[in-house]
Amino acid sequence: MKLPKDLQAKCILRLKQGMEQMGQAMTESEQDRLASYLRLLLKWNSAYNLTAVRDPQEMVVRHLLDSLSILPYISGQALLDAGTGPGLPGIPLAIMQPGRRFTLLDSNGKKIRFVRQAALELELENVIAVQQRIEDQNPTATLDLVMARAFTALPQLYCMCNPLLRPGGRLLAMKGTARSIADEMSDLEGVTTEVHRLNVPFLEEERHLVIIQEAGISR
């Protein structure tokens, strides 16, 4: 799908304004890659229904800026995006963080095919796409960080991801309202968590990030 020039310009402007509001610098090359990812997502979405969001400017907010809102919390070299879907938040983060290695994991075949094609066309050498359930991952305890965007409840997510993390590794769970997080955290015992309110420009809905620092320490 080829965006009309005026709509493409509006999307790029919204992306630039959003990154500025989040205090994140973006090179022209990174901007071009993010815009190219958006075009690919729109093209594939028309045939494969990868995401319920259809409007390009809304995609900029709900997919690109939402994913990039956790940039300040990204660390380590070996990272896993659990339940990545069409590459979110993994691909936008990999574009902005080329020095880190991202494994993007999902059990849905058509979504992983899209992720592989996007990584190929965007020349993202730091991205590996894997079609597999998180439960079937070999618990090697070598990952520095596991992230998940609206994937599953915190207790289940912790149980699935903890064996994959090295001692001192971190689990980052992208969530919605503070109230929903409180309900999930009440069932999460024996770990210390941090909750951060995320600033996603142009989005009125609440976004939060839950960080489990102890993930990967006790086994």
pLDDT at position 107, please?
A: 96
Statement: residue 152 has pLDDT above 70: yes
Statement: residue 215 has pLDDT above 60: no
Q: What are the tokens at 153?
A: 């409840």
Provide the CATH number for the domain formed by 5-212 in this structure: 3.40.50.150
| Residue 89 preceded by cis peptide, ω within 30 | yes
- pLDDT (tens digit per residue) in 6-51: 889 999 999 999 999 999 999 999 999 999 999 999 999 989 989 9
The stretch 75-98 carries a mean pLDDT of 97
User: Domain ranges in the chain?
Assistant: 5-212
Residues 11/35, Cβ–Cβ less than 8 Å: yes
| CA–CA dist 200, 210 (Å, integer) | 15
The stretch 117-126 carries a mean pLDDT of 98
CA nearest neighbour of 216 among 91, 120, 114, 76: 76
Q: What is the pTM of this model?
A: 0.94
Statement: residue 129 has pLDDT above 80: yes
Statement: residue 219 has pLDDT above 50: no
